[in-house]
Amino acid sequence: MLERQQSPNPYDLLPPVPGFALASDDLVDGGELPNIHVSAWNGAGGHDVSPHLRWSGFPEATASFAVTCYDPDAPTGSGFWHWAVANLPRSVTELAQGAGDPSGTRMPGGAVQLRNDGGQAGYIGAAPPRGDRAHRYIFAVHALKVEHLEVGADATPAILGFNITFNVLARATLTALYQAR
- Domains, the chain, ranges and CATH? 15-178 (3.90.280.10)
In the predicted structure, residue 2 carries a pLDDT above the cut 60: no
The percentage of the chain sitting over the pLDDT mark of 90, rounded to a whole number, equals 89
Name which residue leads in pLDDT, 87 or 43.
87
pLDDT score of 10 more than 80: yes
Q: Quick one: how far is CA 138 from the chain centroid?
A: 6
Instruction: Note the pLDDT tens digit of each residue in 90-110.
Output: 999 999 999 999 999 999 989
Name the phi and psi angles at 6, rounded to 5. Answer: -70, 135
pLDDT at 181 over 90: no
pLDDT above 80 (res 17) = yes
Across the chain, what does the average pLDDT equal? 94
Does the structure show a pLDDT above 60 at 1? no
Q: How many CB atoms lie within 10 A of CB 8?
A: 9
pLDDT tens sequence across 103-140: 999 999 899 999 999 999 999 999 999 889 999 999 99
